[in-house]
Amino acid sequence: MGEVIKTDIRSLSLAELKEVFVAHGEKAFRGQQVYEWLWKKSCTDFDAMSNLSNDLRNWLKQTFVIHPIQVEDKQISNDGTIKSGFKLYDQKVVEGVLIPADERMTACVSSQVGCSLTCKFCATGTMDRERNLNPDEIYDQVVHIKNWAQQHYQNPLTNIVFMGMGEPLLNYSNLIKGIEKITSPEGLGMSGERITVSTAGIAKMIRKLADDEVKVNLALSLHAANDAKRNLIMPINESNNLKAVGEALQYYYRKTRRRVTYEYIAFKDFNEGMEDAKELLQFCKLIPCKVNVIEYNPTGDGKFEKADSDKIDKFCNYLEKNGIIAKVRRSRGKDIDAACGQLANKKHENALVKEA
Interface with ligand SAH, residue 265, by CB under 6 A: yes
Alpha carbons 122 and 125: distance in angstroms, whole number: 5
State the DSSP H helix or E strand holding residue 312, giving kind and residue range, or none if neither.
helix 309-321
Alpha carbons 317 and 309: distance in angstroms, whole number: 12
137, 167, 272, 337: residue in contact with ligand SAH (rule CB under 6 A): 167
Alpha carbons 165 and 129: distance in angstroms, whole number: 10
Residue 274 burial (CB < 10 Å; 0-12/13-18/19+)? exposed
Dihedral of CA atoms 77, 292, 175, 92 in degrees, nearest 10, equals: -30
- Cβ 221 to ligand SAH, closest distance in Å? 4
Query: Who's near 114: CB < 8 A, 6+ residues apart?
Result: 124, 127, 128, 129, 130, 165, 166
- Cβ 226 to ligand SAH, closest distance in Å? 16
**Residues with catalytic function:** 95, 340
Site for ligand SAH in 174-233 (CB under 6 A): 198-200, 221
Name the residue whose CB lies closest to ligand SAH: 341
Show the site string, 282-321: x = touches ligand SAH by CB under 6 A, - = not.
------------x-xx-x----------------------
* Closer residue to ligand SAH, CB minimum distance, 121 or 315: 121
- Cβ 347 to ligand SAH, closest distance in Å? 18
Largest alpha-carbon pair distance within the chain?
A: 73
Interface with ligand SAH, residue 163, by CB under 6 A: yes
- Cβ 140 to ligand SAH, closest distance in Å? 19
17, 109, 122, 260: residue in contact with ligand SAH (rule CB under 6 A): 122
* Closer residue to ligand SAH, CB minimum distance, 76 or 108: 108
Alpha carbons 159 and 310: distance in angstroms, whole number: 30
